Amino acid sequence: MDAFIIADLGVLALAKKYAPQVGRHVSTRQALTNYEAAKVCYELGIARCAGPRAALTEIAQIRDNCPQDLGLEAFVHGAMCMSVSGRCLLSSYMAGRSGNRGECAQPCRWKYSLVEEHRPGQYMEIGESEDNGSYILNANDLCTAPFIDLICKAGVDSLKIEGRAKTFYYVASVVSAYRRALDAFLADPYNDSFELPDDVIEELNRTSHRHYSPGFYFGKEQAQQTPSHTYVRDWDFIGTVDSWENGVAHCTQRGKFAVGDSIEILQPDGSVVKLTPAWIESADGERMDATPHPMMQYTIPCETPLMAYSLIRMQKQ
């Protein structure tokens, strides 16, 4: 369904006037945390409200007190903004890059020290530990896959995955993981003993991320703080599959790997093929030991049929 995502009431009025046939959704930047605000949006012609990172009890309360045809959307995965609803101005002031326009420099992930005005250049640690310093605004990434059943039962209609400034590999991997999690819930939605398939978390660990937490869903105490600005990057995205025919995959290089390396291929349907290619050939048919050149075309043997647009990755050595 096509729709405008709106955070400004003036834009809402113009959308209703000039494009009444297009759906209208309220952006997370409206920070709707109570049902009275959500009901006002409904009365103004909003079809779906995208709330900020909130608690399960808050979502359930909004659902119970609003018209059933008002859709509710909730974040289920990705970075936790220190401003909750993404309206932080730090990046604009400190780096000249507006977070509200998708250009956030993420200054909340930076390491900060204390400086006294008459002692310039003397930086004093304000860290929680001697080793890690202080990242006073830095939160862990949100991951709700283990309790996706509770989010659905709270009345959420749409799951929101952070994808801004992310690679297409990240989006493909995370969306495929949540598709499997959601399908597992929908297969038996009245079962109170939801079991997340093991391969969901395995997939979510194959993208670059900070350490995971349940965010604010079970209270602010669970929204843990990351003790550094670093990411968990255990896997590399190394290529795409352009086509497959007669046991041979035609690929494009996005990262180097060598003959004998074990790789995985994530297909558009979410399935994963594990492979250790016995040979690599260049586009000219020359056998090679590795794929050293960016965007080079090459082929590898694979008995399993592969779908076009499949993504190739390899665990870091």
Domain ranges of the chain: 3-80+140-222, 86-138, 235-315
246: left (phi over 0), alpha (psi -120 to 50) or beta: left
**pLDDT value for 133:** 59
Cα separation, 6 vs 50, whole angstroms: 10
Query: Cα(194)–Cα(196) distance, rounded to whole angstroms?
Result: 6
DSSP string, 190-228: T-SS----HHHHHHHTTS-BPPEE-TTTT-GGGSPBPSS
What stretches of the chain adopt beta strand conformation (E)?
Answer: 3-6, 23-26, 48-50, 71-78, 141-143, 158-161, 212-213, 235-245, 248-253, 263-266, 272-275, 280-282, 287-288, 297-301, 310-315
Q: What is the DSSP letter of 284?
A: T
- What is the assigned CATH class of domain 235-315? mainly beta
The residue-averaged pLDDT of 18-39 equals: 93
Is the per-residue pLDDT at 131 higher than 60?
Answer: no
- What is the average pLDDT across 69-92? 88
- Assess if CATH 3.20.20 describes domain 3-80+140-222: yes
Tokens 């509710």, residue?
72
pLDDT on residue 317: 82
Q: Which of 80-84, 214-218, 244-248 has the lowest mean pLDDT?
A: 80-84
**pLDDT tens digit string along 85-120?**
777 889 999 999 988 777 888 888 887 888 899 998
d(CA 237, CA 313): 4
Encoding tokens for residue 182? 């959601």
Q: What is the mean pLDDT of the chain?
A: 91
Helix (H, G, I), strand (E, B) or coil at 171: helix
**Chain centroid, CA 292 distance in Å:** 30
Single-letter code of the amino acid located at 59: I
